[in-house]
Amino acid sequence: MRNSELSRRQLLSFMGLGLGASCGAGWLPALAESVATDPRRRRHCILLWMNGGPSQTDTFDMKPGHANGGEFKEIATKAPGLRFSEHLPKLADHAEQLAVVRSISTAEGDHARGTHLVRTGHPPAGGVAYPSIACSLAKQLESQSNLLPNYVSVAPRTQVSPASFGPGFLGQSYAPAIVGGVSSDAAASEGAGERAMDLKLEHIDWPAGVDSRQGIRRRQLWERFQKDFLQHRHVETFRAHDALIRNATEMMRPEVRQAFDLAEESESTRSKYGPGLFGQGCLLARRLVERGVPFVEVALGDGLAWDTHQDNFSQVRSLSEQLDAGWANLMAELKERDLLESTTILWMGEFGRTPTINGNAGRDHFPAAWSCVFAGGGIEGGQAYGRTSPDGTVVEENQVGIGDVLATLCTAMGVSPKEENVTPAARPVKLAEGTPIRKILA
């Protein structure tokens, strides 16, 4: 029996301690971890990534009545005492499934360094190419029987810190499958009103002049040569290259292409999610989770969209409207399909923004006290964890680091954050160096 597992006899023994001993029940964390990591609890994750660092003060940790509060109003939600921005009314209706963590404090205020820290759990440093938490979790939850990728990333904006989005020392076998679409290049704008009708998996079309029958025969020929080649060569780079090509050709299958085909959805369904890449990406995330993909990431905003040094309020209003439509409908449809309880959602960027408003009506980089939001499977919603000061400048209660956030994500998904990957230099690296936030775990 693994150390993380509790036998039925142990559980009964613990229960026999009685309620009178519960105040000192040190077994509770062990029980919680054992339940969370039960392999029968099949989990999925959807990461909603906010490029540029979203303003916590104008979304989920508002400061009404204070000079730092800005021009947005608060609204009540379905969860008593939990209040959001007026520009997130649909999410307010799902607040009973949301847990807002308002007390993150990190040390990296640069976009590239902050992105690397938040996505890998480690500050950028030489010597180790750390994988993103998305790649690590997709590896833990990978399904050998599913033809679909284990990790799909929709419209990622990786230019600021490419290494933060990749598999690092895990190798290219664990890199994400990228979904871009006609709006995915740097020149496209999320706010241009363009329907993301052509969201599709990149690089899965046969070359011009090659039909599917010819393509299959080419693959069969390649497999014959490849088998002979690999029989006499055991270099890891050859194996990784082989896996990469096999994964790519598997995704050319019709049933895989169909999973990414949003044209199968009704116009009314698509319009509810919103016309942009984020809204349509959330719809695609629902389709992929339905088909067993363990990890899906959807980014909101072109470039560093949330980097609102100027004109903060009009930009955050527009971004919030897209966020509200896409995220709220994603949760509603996952719930309708009995998938929300097995799907953990995390909303997060690389840091927050200053509570104080600068001379350009903007907010600047602020890693000292900011927020993320958990939802869905493994999460006890309807609450805010931690508290910042009335002016929003410091954490006053339950401060957490990014390692704690990532450990919470792992645990909610049924993966122990203590699980290790091993670098090529034989160095073990935990999935997350932190302590799960027990109060928000279901």
Is the pLDDT at 11 greater than 60? The verdict is no
> Within this chain, do residues 57 and 191 fall inside the same structural domain, yes or no?
yes
Going by C-alpha positions, the residue among 42, 136, 141, 96 that lies closest to residue 379 is 96
Range 193-196 contact pairs with CB under 8 angstroms and sequence separation of 24 or more: 193/275, 194/275, 194/276, 195/275, 195/280, 196/275, 196/276, 196/277, 196/279, 196/280, 196/281
Q: How many other C-beta atoms lie within 10 A of the C-beta of residue 25?
A: 13
| Mean pLDDT score of the chain | 84
13 & 156 share domain = no
What residue numbers bound the domain in which 310 lies? 44-201+270-440
**Residue 371: inside a domain:** yes
Q: Tell me if 215 is assigned to some domain.
A: no
Residues 1 and 143 in one domain: no
* Distance from C-alpha of 96 to C-alpha of 55, rounded to nearest angstrom: 22
pTM listed for this prediction: 0.82
Residue 227 domain-assigned? Answer: no
Q: Is residue 114 part of a domain?
A: yes
Do 134 and 51 belong together in one domain?
Answer: yes
- Assess whether 53 and 148 both reside in one domain: yes
* Whether the Cβ atoms of residue 199 and residue 181 lie closer than 8 Å to each other: yes
By the 10 Å C-beta count (0-12 exposed, 13-18 middle, 19+ buried), 331 is classed as buried
**In this predicted model, what pLDDT tens digit does every residue of 115-124 receive, in sequence order?**
999 999 999 8
> Do 416 and 398 share a structural domain?
yes
The Cβ of residue 304 has, within 10 Å, a number of other Cβ atoms equal to 19
Asked whether residue 102 falls in the same domain as residue 180, the answer is yes
| pLDDT surpassing 50 at residue 355 | yes
Q: Is residue 206 part of a domain?
A: no
pLDDT at 261 over 90: no
pLDDT, one tens digit per residue, over 149-185 is: 899 999 888 889 999 999 999 988 899 988 874 433 4
Provide the domain count of the chain: 2
- Asked if the structure places residue 420 within a domain, the reply is yes
20 falls in which pLDDT band (50, 70, 90)? very low
| Cα gap 363→249, rounded to integer Å | 46
pLDDT beyond 70 at 305: yes
Sort residue 396 into left (φ over 0), alpha (ψ -120 to 50) or beta: alpha
**The one-letter amino acid at 93:** D
Tokens (6 digits) for 216: 């299959």
Could you tell me which of 194, 197, 409 has the C-alpha nearest to residue 322? Answer: 194
What is the rounded distance in angstroms from the CA atom of residue 41 to the CA atom of residue 351?
31
Nearest C-alpha neighbor of 282 from the set 245, 317, 324, 252 = 324
Q: Which amino acid is at 381?
A: G
Instruction: Render pLDDT for 183-227 as a digit per residue (tens, 0 to 9).
Output: 334 333 444 344 454 566 555 666 777 776 776 677 778 777 777
If asked whether residues 347 and 426 sit together in one domain, one would say: yes
**SS3 state of residue 341:** helix
Round to whole Å and give the CA distance between 369 and 32.
28
Q: Encoding tokens for residue 344?
A: 């953990």
Q: Residue 369 falls within a domain, yes or no? A: yes
Quick check: 57 and 392 in contact, CB under 8 A?
A: yes
